[in-house]
Structure 1
Amino acid sequence: MLQLFGYWRSSASFRVRLVLQLKGLSYEQHPVNLRQGEQREKAYRRVNPQGLVPFLIDGEVQIGQSVAIMEYLDETYPAYPLMPSAAEDRARVRQIVNMIACDIHPLNNLRVLNYLEQELGQGKAHRDKWYCHWIDETFTALEQLLMTTAGVYSVGNEVTLADCMLVPQVYNARRFNMTLSDYPTIERIVANCEQLQAFIQAAPASQPDAQA
């Protein structure tokens, strides 16, 4: 059985859970509590030397980094493909994936926020301002792009890897009480996705390690 090491509130773990759910793949969850620092413990470092989540084990195959995992699952388990057939549409999906994975996530993940507070002495207000700035900057451009690519979902009328990136990022924005009214296309796409059972089952609140 597939094994996924992750954390309920990790947006990167959320992305991978979405792919697993959309493809109807059974998997065993191994919670890694980021707030308690379990990712830095020797036991987990033996699984993933980078000490990050998510991490996937598929028999002899072991993969870190959420986008690599998502692409591996889509290529290895072709039922319910999450990349379009047309080359231009595939490129648009990759563009959206990279806007979130490269331009938002590295600046806003937990270890960066902790460094801002603990090492650089920035209080919560400054940390939150930093967080929201990088989402706003990318969402402004992403909204314009999605106005040209979206149907029901981010690229056309079928769920793709772009949606598996977008929904977790919006989840994070909501956690920080961001106002998303300037991004009506993003809000519409996410609302459509959140009606699907796979997105409900993969949501952070639905996970066995979820905390109030």
Structure 2
Amino acid sequence: MKLYENEISSATSRVRIALALKGVEVEAHRISILGVDAQNRQADYLKLNPQGLVPALVTDGGQLITQSLAIIEYLNELYPEPPLLPLNLESRALARSVALAIASEIHALLPPRIASYLSTTHAINSDGVAEWSRHWIGEGMAAVEQLITNRRTGAFIAGDHPSVADIFLFPQAISAARNGFDLAQWANIAEIMQNLRAIPAFENNAPAARK
């Protein structure tokens, strides 16, 4: 399998964590995503992935899979152990709910292409773009904290084993901290992050800071 990725991408981090938990190695291809000459906006990459996003996985059979949640669920079905979704149906639904809350309601508003659009089309300066990001991160993380309050059943979001929910939370919480948020204000998230940092698959695949 081939993984098209970038080290600062939270979505790439999610897939990397899942691969590490499964003990699966892939052929990695770095795709730049910042600047006017970013590879993800060039014709060659757009031919592979019309959305121009990372990560993108090409399977051993040559099929393209995009979107980190779809990639992770594919890997989870291809390599069942350890499972990344709880066996209990309600816990499984909670794990997916949290993953989607992060992917669709927080992260979707933060990528470089969003910042570029705000600055070039709406003349919003860097401080304004930073405030945009902080607003949606703060609102979204507070909502995630409420989602999991009184519903946790173990060390992680949906039990005593990391699930897809934790895989999505980890890089997003790191992003929140880098944007100036004190994770301690979200007691469950802070505790879960402490537990996740003790797991090499998570700590070794955290998203890199933007330079």
Q: Which residue of 1 is the match for residue 132 of structure 2?
A: 130
Inter-partner Cα distance in structure 2 for 1:27 and 1:149: 35
Over the matched positions of the two proteins, sequence identity in percent amounts to 37
Question: Match of 1:29?
Answer: 28
Q: Once the 2 structures are TM-superposed, how far is the Cα of residue 62 of structure 1 from its aligned partner?
A: 1.4
1:59, CA displacement in angstroms? Answer: 1.3
Matching residue's letter, 1:40: R
Aligned partners of 1:50, 1:98: CA distance in 2, in Å?
19
Aligned-partner SS, 1:63: strand
| Equivalent residues of 1:92, 1:155 under 8 A apart | yes
| Counterpart contact for 1:5–1:55, Cα < 8 Å | yes
Structure 2 runs not aligned, ≥5 long: none
In structure 1, what is the Cα distance between the partners aligned to 2:42 and 2:197?
Answer: 34
Instruction: Report the TM-score when normalising by structure 2.
Output: 0.93
Secondary structure, aligned partner of 1:164: helix
Q: Which residue of 2 aligns with 1:141?
A: 143
Q: Does 1:170 align with 2:170?
A: no
Match of 1:186 among 189, 194, 203: 189
Taking structure 1 as the reference length, the TM-score comes to 0.92
Residue aligning to 1:156: 159
Greater mean deviation of Cα atoms: 131-140 or 176-185? 176-185
> Any stretches of 5+ residues in structure 1 without a counterpart?
none
Between the aligned partners of 2:176 and 2:54, the Cα distance in structure 1 is: 19
Which amino acid is the alignment partner of residue 83 of structure 2?
Answer: P
CA–CA distance in structure 2, aligned partners of residues 117 and 66 of structure 1: 27
Secondary structure at the residue paired with 1:5? strand
Question: Any conservation in 1 of the 2:14–2:167 contact (CA below 8 Å)?
Answer: yes
C-alpha displacement of 1:134 = 0.9
Distance 1:48 1:96 in 2: 26
Q: Which moved more, 1:176-185 or 1:6-15?
A: 176-185
Q: Is 82-91 or 132-141 further displaced after alignment?
A: 132-141
Contact 2:3 2:58 in 1 (8 A): yes
**Do the aligned partners of 1:18 and 1:202 also contact (CA within 8 Å) in 2?**
yes
Is 1:40 matched with 2:41? yes
Q: 2:60 corresponds to which residue?
A: 59
Equivalent runs, 1:64-143 vs 2, <5 Å: 64-143=66-145
1:180 is displaced (CA, Å) by 2.5
SS in structure 1 opposite 2:53?
coil
The whole-number CA distance in structure 2 between the counterparts of 1:180 and 1:141 is 13
Q: Deviations over 1:112-144 (max 9, x none)?
A: 111111221111211111111111112112112
**C-alpha displacement of 1:195:** 1.0
Match of 2:201 among 181, 198, 201: 198
| Residue 13 in structure 1 maps to residue 16 in structure 2 | no
Instruction: Report the residue type matching 1:21 in the other structure.
Output: A
Residues 149 and 156, structure 1, Cα contact 8 Å, conserved in 2 = no
Secondary structure class of the residue paired with 2:57: strand
* Residues 1:183 and 1:125: Cα distance change in structure 2 (over 3 Å): same
